[in-house]
Amino acid sequence: MRVRTSVVAFLLLALSTLPAAADPAPVSRLHWVTNGTVRAVAAQDQAVYIGGSFTRVAPAANFLGPWFGVSTTTGAPLPRMALADGPVFAIEPDGAGGYYVGGRFQRIGGVARTSLAHVLADGSVDPAFVPDLRAPAFDSHGRLPGAEVRSLARFGTTLFAGGSIQTTLRFGLVALDAASGAPTAFPVAAPPGFEAERMFLNGGHLVVFGSDASGIHPTVLSVDPASGGVAWSRPMGLGGVRDGVLAGGRLIVAGSFRSSIPSGPSSLASLDPATGAIDLSWTPTQVDPTTFASADVWAVTAIGSTVYVGGRFAAFGGQPRANAAAVDLATGIVTGWAPAIDGIVRDMAPSAGASLYIAGGFQTVGGVTREGLAEIDVAGVVSAWTAQAYSTDVWTFHATGNTLIAGGSAAVAGGMPRTNLAAFDLAADDVLSWAPVVNESVARIAVDGPVVLAELDRPTPSQSNPTPRVAAFDAASGAPAWALPDFTLNLLGAFDGYGYVSQGLWIDALLLRVDLLTGTVDPSWRFAHAPSLLLRKATTGYFFGYLTRFGDAGAVDLVSGTVGPWMPGYNELFPFTFPEGSPSITAAALMGRTMYLHYTWTSLLSSSFMSAVDLESGRGVTSIRPPHVVSSMGAADGLLVTAGRIPYSMLFPPPPVPFLTATRPDGTPSAWNPGMAPTEVDQPVDPRIVVTGTDIVVSGVQLADDAAPVHGVAVFARQPSEAPATLEATTLDNLVTLSWAAAQPGVVSHVLEVGSTPGGSNVLVQDTGGSLPALQALAPAGTYFVRVRAAGAVAGTPAAAPTNEIAVRVGCTAPPPAPTRLAAAVTGLHVSLTWEPPPFAAVTRYVIEAGAGPGLANLARIGVPGSQSGFEVDAPPATYYVRVRSENACGASAASPDIWMTVGGAALPAAPEVSVAGTAPTYTVQWTAIAGATAYILEAGSTPGASDVARVVVSGTSFGPATVAFGSTHYVRVRAVNAAGVGPASQEYVLIAR
C-alpha cells in the first residue's frame, strides 16, 4: 500500500529495536555463587533462572575457593584461604602453621604460581617459594595437559611433588627445595614416564604410588628420600594405584589395578613394607573372570584391625557396597560396614574418635545430606558433624587438631538449599524464594510469563515406563505444573504462551508446540524436523539442526506452524567448506536483519567457522573465522557476544578454559573481555548466553577475579555507546524508513537532524521521544541530508556525536535507477526477457532497446508499462544485443548492462553455482563450470542486482583475490556465455568490508 501526505515535517513512527555499539564494562551485577555446575540460564524482567547440578546458592562472600578449612568440632568454615583459580589436589603442612598446596592453577592469593605454592600461616603466599613447574610433553593418559600436582610429601628441607609435572632435572616425581622451590638433584630410578599419584613417609622411606608413561602399568616404590635410592619397586599388574596405608605390619595398596598373578588380589592388596612382596593369601577382591573388571578404589585408611576403602564402585569383594567398604586387616574378608554413599569417595582418614572422615563428590551418606565431607563411625552411622562448606568435589584433606583443610574444586559455605533450579532478583541482587524440588540435573531452561520450562537429564528409561524430560514449574511459587512423558524431548524455547520442543530423531523427528498453562501438545501445529536451535523474530522461528549437504534449516510461522519460504542455500550457510565431512550449527544469534551462525566442520579434523545470512533474502553476507569453538552467541549493543571453551592444548590443560568475548559484526575484536577460569574438574560445561533488554547473562562460567569470583552465572549490565551508528534509509514514494545501530540501553531518546545541504539541519531538528533505533517518516519530494544522535542522558547535557550522514531522495527528484538482473530465455524464435525493477522507485515505463552490436538500438525500441518486469516476443533469426531502461516523469535511467543472444540457434547456457572464499576485505569468487561456455561475466554492484561496481569477462571459473573497499558492500553474481549468448545470473553473494 502506498501512503501519500502533504505534511512538511517528518512524522515519526517507532519500528523495532536494533542493537547498539558498545563495550560494556565486564563487572557482574549478580553476587551469588553455587556449589555445583550451572548448565542453563533464562531471564524474564528482573528475574534470572538457572539450572544445573547444585544443591545450594550463597552470597559471593561465602565463596571459599578450591581449598578451604573447617572446624572438626563444629564444621563451621574458617576464614577464606588464599584463593586459587583452579582445583587443588594435594595439601601438605609446612610444620609452621602454613601449607604447601598443589593442584592445577595459575594464580593463588593474587600471585602467579603454576600448580604449586607455599601459603604461610597468615594466609599470604610465600614470595620466596617460586617453583618452576612445567607440563610434560604427554601425561600418562596421552593428553596435552598443563602442569598438574597430584601429590605432595615433605622430608626435612625437601618437598616432593608428583603428578603431570617436570622440572629442568626430572618429571613425574620431583624433589624441590622447601624454602625456594628450586629443583634438587634427586636421582630416583623410577620407571620411564612415572607419575606419582600419592606418597607418604614410612619411617625412613618415601612410599610412592603411581604409573609409568603408558598409564596402565601401576607401580609402588619405596625410596630413600635422602639419597634417592630405590629400596624396592613393585609392579601391580594393569590399571592404576592411587593410595596406601601402613597398618598392622602391612602396606595396604589401593587402586583399580588387576593383578597379573593368577588368583592374585585386585583393587586392594597387602605388601611387605620392607621388601614389597605381595601377600597372596590376603585377597579381599579378585578380578571377575568373565568381565575382567575390578573395583575403582581411590582412598584407603585403617582404624584398629579394620581397613576402610572408598572410591567409585557398586560392589566390593562380592558384596553390594555403595562407594565405601571395610575389610578385616588380618583375614582380608569384607565386613558388614556398608554406609550408602551416592557419589565417589576420593579421600579418607581417621578422625579423633572411633570414626573416619571421608571426602569426595557425594551429596548424601546413609540417606543423610552430607555434601563433599562427612564423618562416619565404625558402625557405619553418620555422625552429627557436618561441614558448612559445600563443595562440588573434594579431592583431598588434611586434619590437624581442630582444623580440617580440604581441597578440590570451588566450595561455598552455608547458603540456601536449592535443588538444581534457582532464581535471582537482579534489581535487589537477592535469591528468590522460588525453589522447585528437582532431583535431576537441568540441561536447559526457558521462561515465558507465569511458567518456567526445564529440560531434565535422566538416564534413558525403558519405552514401557517413560520418564519426564521436559517439566513445567510455576514461575512465582516453583510448584510443579506438568511434565511431558516422552524421554526423547529436547527443550528449544518458550514464546508467547507456548513451549517448543523437538521430539525424536531422523525419520520420526518432530517439532512440537505445547500450551504452557496446560502442557497440552497442539495437534495441529507440528512439522517433521527436530532442530537443535530455534530463534525467534516477531512471529517467525528460525530453526537449525545437524546439517548435511541436503540442509536442515529454515523458518516456521510460530502462529500457524507452516514452514516459510526462508531457506538459505547450502553455500550461504557454509561459505567455508571441505571436500568431505559434515557441518553442524552449534550457535546462532540475530542482529537486526542478519543472522550469525557458528558451525563446526568435521572431516579429518574438526574446525570452527562463522557465517552471516540475510534474513530477508537468505543470501550469505560475510564469513568470520573464530579462534575457538563457540557454544553460545548473543547480540547486544552492536556486539556479537560469543562463549565457548578453549580446547585441550599445551597452554590450556583440561578442563578446557571457558571464554567470553565480543566482536563487531565484521569480526573486529572488541575490548569487552571478562577474565575467565575453569569451573568444573570432571564435568566442564559449555557457557550459555542470554541477552535481555538490560543485561548479558552468562551461565557455566567462573570469573578469574581474586577478590570476588562468580561461580556458575554472571550478569553484565549492557552499556550505551558514545553514539548511534550505521544509519541507513529506504524510500517508497513519500515514505522514508530510517534504521541505525542505536546507543542502547541508557539512552531514552534520539534526535533526528535533517538539512537541505550536507551538514545542515534547517529542515528539521526533532527529538524522537523514544529509544528505538528505527522510524518511518512521510516527507514531500526532495533531497534531504539526514543524521541521528542520542539525546543527552541527563537533561541539559549535549547529545552524543551523530551517526554517519546519508542523502535521502524522496519523490521524483531524479530519474529512477536502471533495472537489474536482465536475463533472456530463447525457445526457437520466441524470446522471453525478464528484469528486476529498481527498488523503492516509481517507474512509469520500461524501454527495451535491441541492436546489432553492443550499445546499439538500431533493430528495436519497445516501451512497456512500469508495472511489468518482463516482455515476450517472436523475433526473426539474428544476433541481438539487448538492454533495458527505467523511466519516470524526471527522465530515463542509464541502461542496464547489455546481454546478447542468437535467435534460432542453440540454447543459452545455464546459471553457474557461485561460492566465495576469503575473509573481509579480500575475497575470491569461484563458480562451477558450465558445459559449452566460452566465457563468464562477473557482475558486481553497490545494490542488489546492479552492475555499477564492475562487469568483468573471465575465461576461467574464478576471479580474485579482490579487495572490497572499507565501508563498502558489493553484490556479486556470475553469468555464463556460449555461442548462443549470455545466460541467466547465478545466485547473488553479498560481500562486506567494515
What is the pLDDT, as a whole number, of residue 743? 57
Q: DSSP string of 86-105?
A: S-EEEEEE-SSS-EEEEES-
The more confident residue out of 725 and 597 is 597
| Angle, vertex CA 79, rays to CA 75 and CA 85, nearest 5 | 105
Confidence band, pLDDT 50/70/90 cuts, at residue 972: very high
* DSSP codes, 923-935: EEEEE---TT--E
Q: Which helix (H) or strand (E) holds 481?
A: strand 480-484
> What would the mean pLDDT of 491-511 be, rounded to a whole number?
81
User: What's the confidence (pLDDT) of residue 649?
Assistant: 47
Structure-model confidence comparison of residues 108 and 354, the more confident one: 108
pLDDT class for 747, splitting at 50, 70, 90? low
Confidence of residue 265 (pLDDT cuts 50, 70, 90): confident
Of 520 and 732, the one with more pLDDT: 520
Map 104-155 to HEC letters. Answer: CCCEECCEECCCEEEECCCCCECCCCCCCCECCCCCCCCCCCCCEEEEEEEE
Give which of 32, 34, 105 is closest to 67, Cα–Cα.
105
pLDDT band at 793 (very low <50, low <70, confident <90, very high): very low
**Stretch among 162-166, 270-274, 338-342 having the lowest mean pLDDT:** 162-166
Q: What span, in angstroms and rounded, lies between the C-alpha atoms of 69 and 727?
A: 58
User: Do residues 534 and 552 make contact, with C-beta atoms less than 8 angstroms apart?
Assistant: no
Q: Compute CA distances 687 → 32, 41, 179, 679, whole Å.
A: 17, 10, 40, 10
Q: How far is CA 838 from CA 46, 249, 815, 817, 943, in A?
A: 46, 95, 11, 6, 9
Set of cell numbers at residue 199: 606418597
Q: How confident is the model at residue 731 (pLDDT cuts 50, 70, 90)?
A: confident
Q: Looking at residue 365, what is its pLDDT?
A: 94
- pLDDT digits 0-9 by tens, 300-333: 999 999 999 999 999 998 899 999 999 999 999 9
Please report, rounded to a whole number, the percentage of residues in the chain having pLDDT higher than 70: 79
Provide the pLDDT for residue 131.
93
Whether the Cβ atoms of residue 743 and residue 724 lie closer than 8 Å to each other: yes
Instruction: For residues 495 and 983, give the distance between their C-alpha atoms in angstroms, rounded to a whole number.
Output: 46
Output the pLDDT for position 177.
94
**Predicted confidence band of residue 146 (pLDDT cuts 50, 70, 90):** low
Residue 582 phi, psi (nearest 5): -130, 140
> What phi and psi values does residue 506 have, to the nearest 5 degrees?
55, -120
Higher pLDDT, 788 or 68: 68
pLDDT at 259: 80
Q: What is the pLDDT of residue 978?
A: 92
> For residue 802, what pLDDT band results from cuts at 50, 70 and 90?
confident
Q: Does 154 score more than 60 pLDDT?
A: yes
pLDDT at 337: 95
Q: Report pLDDT for 799.
A: 54
Q: Is residue 604 over pLDDT 60? A: no
pLDDT average, residue stretch 486-498: 83
Yes or no: say if 834 and 820 are a contact pair by the CB < 8 Å rule.
Answer: no
Question: At 625, is the pLDDT very low, low, confident or very high (cuts 50, 70, 90)?
Answer: low
Helix (H, G, I), strand (E, B) or coil at 507: helix
How high is the pLDDT of residue 23?
A: 42
pLDDT band at 25 (very low <50, low <70, confident <90, very high): very low
Residue 845: pLDDT above 80? yes
How many other C-beta atoms lie within 10 A of the C-beta of residue 489?
23
pLDDT value at 9 more than 60: no
Q: Is the dihedral of CA 863, 867, 873, 878 positive or negative?
A: positive
pLDDT of residue 928: 94
Cα angle vertex 779, ends 777, 781, to 5°? Answer: 145
- Distance, in Å, from the CA atom of 658 to the CA atom of 686, rounded to the nearest integer, reads 7
For 190-224, give one letter per residue: b (16+ CB within 10 A) or e.
Answer: bbebbbbbbbbeeeebbbbbbbbbebebbbbbbbe
Q: Across residues 445-468, what is the average pLDDT? A: 75
Q: What is the pLDDT of residue 603?
A: 52
pLDDT-derived band of residue 703, with 50, 70 and 90 as boundaries? Answer: very low
**Choice between 86 and 51, residue whose per-residue pLDDT is larger:** 51
Q: Is the pLDDT of residue 502 over 60?
A: yes
Residue 552 confidence (pLDDT): 61
Which three-class secondary structure state does DSSP give residue 202? strand
List pLDDT tens digits, range 86-130. Answer: 889 999 999 999 999 999 888 898 898 989 999 999 999 999 999
Q: Are 135 and 181 in contact (CB under 8 A)?
A: no
What integer pLDDT is reported at residue 791 of this predicted model?
63
Confidence of residue 36 (pLDDT cuts 50, 70, 90): confident
Find the length of the chain.
994
6-10, 302-306, 554-558: which range is least confident on average? 6-10
**Grid cell digits, residue 454:** 526445564
698 pLDDT higher than 60: yes
Range among 12-26, 223-237, 317-331, 622-636 with highest mean pLDDT value: 317-331
Average pLDDT, the chain: 80
What cell was used for 723? 553514539
Q: What is residue 889's predicted lDDT score, i.e. its pLDDT?
A: 66
Q: Could you give the 3-state DSSP secondary structure of residue 506?
A: helix
Contact residues for 311 (Cβ-Cβ < 8 A; gap 6+)? 254, 256, 295, 296, 297, 298, 299, 323, 344, 345
Terminal Cα-to-Cα distance of the chain (whole angstroms):
34
| Average pLDDT score over residue span 969-981 | 92
Q: Which residues contact 961 (CB under 8 A, 6 or more apart)?
A: 918, 922, 923, 924
Q: What is the average per-residue pLDDT within 825-834?
A: 91
**Whether the Cβ atoms of residue 896 and residue 911 lie closer than 8 Å to each other:** no
Instruction: Specify the higher pLDDT residue, 302 or 689.
Output: 302
Q: How many CB atoms lie within 10 A of CB 104?
A: 27
Question: Given the C-alpha cell 579434523, which residue does it identify?
Answer: 605
Is residue 626 over pLDDT 80?
Answer: no
C-alpha cell recorded at residue 268: 586392594
CB atoms within 10 A of CB 826: 20
DSSP string, 657-722: EEEEEEE-TTSPBPS----EE---SS-----EEEE-SSEEEEEEEEE--SSS--EEEEEEE----S
Check whether 231 has a pLDDT greater than 60.
yes
Q: Model pTM? A: 0.65
pLDDT band at residue 17, thresholds of 50, 70 and 90? very low
Give pLDDT, residue 637: 64
Give whole-number Cα distances, 426 to 45, 283, 349, 883, in Å.
9, 58, 43, 63
Interval 629-680: pLDDT, tens: 788 888 776 677 888 766 554 444 445 566 777 776 656 666 666 655 544 4
Percent of the chain with pLDDT over 90: 33
What pLDDT shows up at residue 64?
85
